[in-house]
Amino acid sequence: MLTTDKSIFYHCQRRANLWSTDSLIEDVDAWLSASRLCLNPSKTQVLWLGLRYLVDRITVRHVPVLFSSVQVVDSARDLGVVIDSHLTMADHVTAVCRAAYFHLRQLHLITRSLSVDAAMTLVQSFISCYLDYCNSLFSGITDSLLGHLQPVQNAAARLVTGTRRRDHITPVLRQLHWLPVRQRVDFKLVLLVY
């Protein structure tokens, strides 16, 4: 089976040099069929990746896939991570913030009737998982984008401890033993490398 996969890879690579997308898609469809998988054009998305000025030059907005036409998108979700065409992670940060704030609003209604430990467990299970999921991808993003994630963690800490908006958040994060978002990303990278 390994030789078949290798031969298909080299065949696709040779065809890629000729820049024939139709034949590439046919090769991918053949490889998927040999692996007992199916290429579903209705669930397929095409995303051009590259620098902004290069992606803006591409005029192709529809790519033929088998017997249908697939529209080119600006961002796509893959394994829960939203990837945009410029790889800035801006769409993913927006999606993380939107989902976390939604859950914070829902948790705000019930945390008053819970103990601090129970509230902390709920907040960690709902909010921290959003901040920690694939956060190693946040390494190298701009500080302004990373700055959108820190208020989410601050709001979660305020919800657990009942701290007011005007109060300093750093002592609260230390009391909860929560690393700020930037240090969480660094910690994840160091842990992966170790």
How would you classify the pairing of strands 46-47 and 68-73? parallel
Q: Would you list the DSSP string of 45-65?
A: -EE--S-HHHHTT----EEEE
Give the position of tokens 């290798």: 6
Whole-structure pTM value? 0.76
Provide the residue-wise pLDDT of the chain in tens; the chain has 194 residues.
Answer: 344 444 544 444 444 444 566 777 788 888 988 999 888 888 888 888 888 888 888 888 887 877 788 888 888 888 889 988 888 899 999 999 999 999 999 988 888 888 888 888 888 888 888 888 988 888 888 889 999 999 999 999 999 888 888 888 889 889 888 899 999 999 999 988 88
**CB burial readout 62-79, b (16+ within 10 A) else e:** ebebeeeebeeeebeeee
User: Can you list the alpha helix ranges (DSSP code H) found in 35-142?
Assistant: 52-55, 90-108, 116-123, 129-132
Domain ranges within the chain, ordered by starting residue: 1-39, 88-193
Distance between CA 127 and CA 107 in Å, rounded? Answer: 10
